[in-house]
Every structure is written in C-alpha cells, then in structure tokens.
C-alpha cells in the first residue's frame, strides 16, 4: 500500500485543513517538551511568527533515563489545545503507548510515532485504526525498507494518512547525536507516494547544524521540516543543545521559505 507501484500519484495528507505533500513547504516547530503553560504559549507565538503551520511539543516523552523529565501528559495536551485556540497552529504530538491514543487523539491534530516506537507493531496497528493523520519517525537504526514496512502496518489497518519523518540514524559518528540521512528523501520519493519531512534537530543534536540541514532537506525535495525551538534553550528540560533560540529560528524560517520558492 505504501509503494509507488501501487499508488503512482503523490499522496497529499490533509491535517485539519493543512495539506502535506504536493508542493507547499510545511513546518512543524516547537519545544521538545511541553514544560509549562507559559513556556508553551511563548513558544507558540514564536512558532507562529516564523511562519510554521504546526506546533510540536511532547506531552509524553520517551526519555533514555526513567529519572529524566517524562512530560506533563494530559495537562500538556490541554496546553497544546489551548495554544491551537490562541494561534490557529495545528498540533502534532507524540503518543507512546496504545492506552494513550484516545486521549492524545482528543487534543491533537496529528499523532506522532517516535523513533523508539517505529517497530512497536501493536501501537502502529492501533494508530492505523484511528482517524487521525500519523507522523511516523524513522527508527534509530531502521533501514528504509523497515521504515516503509512500519508505515504499511498503519495503512493496512485503514489509515492512509501517513507522513514519514527522517530524523537521523545511529552510526559510528559521535560528534552529532545521529547521522541525518538526507538521501532517504529522494529514495522515499522514488519508492513511495507518502509525503516525507525532515527533522534536522534530532538528526544532528546540535543547533548550529539545524539551519544548514534544514536547507539541504528542502533542496533534496522534502515536503516539510520538524524543528525544535525554545524561548530559552539553556533552560530547556530536554534537548536544549539542539533547540533554536527565537532569533535563529526566524533566520532559519526566512531561509527555508525563500529556498522553497525556487524548488
Ligand atoms: C521528538 O520529536 O520529540 C522525539 C522524541 O524525536 P525522536 O522520536 O525522533 O527521537
Ligand atoms: Mn526532542
């Protein structure tokens, strides 16, 4: 179902009226985690001013350590929904377990499946039965073939509204958090009709690399970007080193939207 052979035309995924795929550059931006109402609202205003269409922010955080900040859960979802009311931005947020799908779907416009859950087949099947569009991130060590099969799990349950997100894979390089595989963009565009976006924040783990990799992703033919931005990255409860400050976020947005006009 995910293959271009089966479906030659590009799929366009409609998320509450915003179309992903088919030419427009879509940006999903926001903090790694929803930390407080104040932090999220401040971030949402910045995200909106930069021209993004989506606000991101985790309410359920899949953290490496069980002692690290785990997210505000339902409280965080409520703040996201309030931020949508304020700004008109669409909401994309991660769902980490089957039991939480119903609650997350109540507040979000799009369900994110994180890299760590890319092969959580029970979770994939269940979001495949929901009526919300799904953003499927590439697994930490997933091949393109495994990633497309993960998407197949969702489509095979009836949900055709899937967008893929390249977010880097683990390699022997340790300067960057992950190695962003931009060749995946052209390969996915060749193999599949599904839209693909790129997350240079998790893909590099370093804020300095976000703008150049965002531009490269647009040049490579990505349908959109996911970018972490925080009102004050030094104070972030997670992923501060890869989060853009407002000023660098605006600069990045200016460049990527300008570049997109030429592509
Ligand atoms: C995220 O986008 O919040 C996230 C946890 O990313 P990933 O699943 O790609 O690590
Ligand atoms: Mn993050």
Per residue in 122-162, pLDDT (tens digit) is 999 999 999 999 999 999 999 999 999 999 999 999 999 99
Q: Which two tokens stand for residue 185?
A: 């963009």
Ligand 1 pocket test: pick from 62, 117, 243 the residue with the most ligand atoms within 8 Å of its Cβ.
62
Query: In a 3-state reduction of DSSP, which class is residue 81?
Result: helix
Q: Is the ipTM of this complex over 0.85?
A: yes
- Residue 90 and residue 84: Cα distance in Å, rounded? 6
Percent of the chain with pLDDT over 70: 100
Q: Output the average pLDDT for the chain.
A: 98
* Residue ranges of the chain with per-residue pLDDT less than 50: none
- Local structure of residue 10 (DSSP, 8 states): P
Ligand 1 atom nearest the C-alpha of 168 is: 9
Ligand 1 atom nearest the C-alpha of 62 is: 5
Query: In a 3-state reduction of DSSP, which class is residue 1?
Result: coil
Is the CB of residue 114 below 6 angstroms from any atom belonging to ligand 1? yes
Is the CB of residue 167 below 6 angstroms from any atom belonging to ligand 1? yes
CA nearest 211: which of 163, 170, 254? Answer: 254
pLDDT per residue over 139-149, tens digit each? Answer: 999 999 999 99
Ligand 1 atom nearest the C-alpha of 199 is: 9
Distances (CA, A) of 7 to 10, 158, 160: 8, 15, 11
Q: Which ligand is nearest to the CA of 197?
A: 1
Residue corresponding to tokens 């703040």: 79
Domains of the chain (ranges, CATH numbers): 13-260 (3.20.20.70)
Would you state the pLDDT for residue 198? 99
Q: Rounded to 10 degrees, what is the CA torsion of 102, 104, 108, 110? A: -80
Would you state the pLDDT for residue 254? 98
pLDDT per residue over 69-81, tens digit each? Answer: 999 999 999 999 9
Ligand 1 pocket test: pick from 93, 114, 120 the residue with the most ligand atoms within 8 Å of its Cβ.
114
- Residue 112 and residue 10: Cα distance in Å, rounded? 21
Cα 38 to ligand 1 centre (Å): 22
């Amino acid at each position: 179902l995910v293959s271009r052979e089966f479906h030659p035309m590009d799929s366009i995924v409609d998320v509450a009226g915003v179309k992903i795929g088919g030419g427009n550059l879509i940006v999903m931006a926001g903090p790694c985690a929803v930390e407080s109402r104040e932090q999220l609202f401040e971030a949402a205003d910045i995200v909106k001013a930069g021209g993004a269409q989506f606000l991101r922010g985790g309410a359920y955080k899949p953290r490496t350590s069980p002692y690290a900040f785990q997210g505000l859960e339902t409280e965080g979802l409520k703040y996201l929904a309030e931020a949508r009311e304020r700004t008109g931005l669409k909401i994309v947020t991660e769902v980490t377990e089957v039991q939480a799908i119903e609650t997350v779907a109540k507040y979000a416009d799009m369900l994110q499946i994180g890299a760590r859950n890319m092969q959580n087949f029970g979770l994939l099947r269940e979001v495949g039965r929901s009526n919300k569009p799904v953003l499927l991130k590439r697994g930490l060590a997933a091949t393109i073939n495994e990633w497309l099969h993960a998407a197949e799990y969702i489509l095979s349950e009836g949900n055709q509204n899937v967008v893929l997100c390249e977010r880097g894979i683990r390699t022997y390089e340790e300067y960057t958090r992950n190695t962003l595989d931009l060749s995946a963009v052209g390969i996915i565009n060749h193999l599949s009709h599904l839209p693909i976006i790129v997350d240079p924040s998790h893909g590099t783990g370093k804020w300095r690399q976000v703008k150049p990799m965002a531009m490269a992703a647009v040049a490579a033919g990505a349908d959109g970007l996911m970018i972490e931005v925080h009102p004050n990255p030094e104070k972030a409860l997670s992923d501060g080193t890869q989060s853009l400050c407002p000023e660098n976020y605006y600069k990045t947005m200016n460049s990527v939207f300008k570049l997109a006009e030429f592509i």
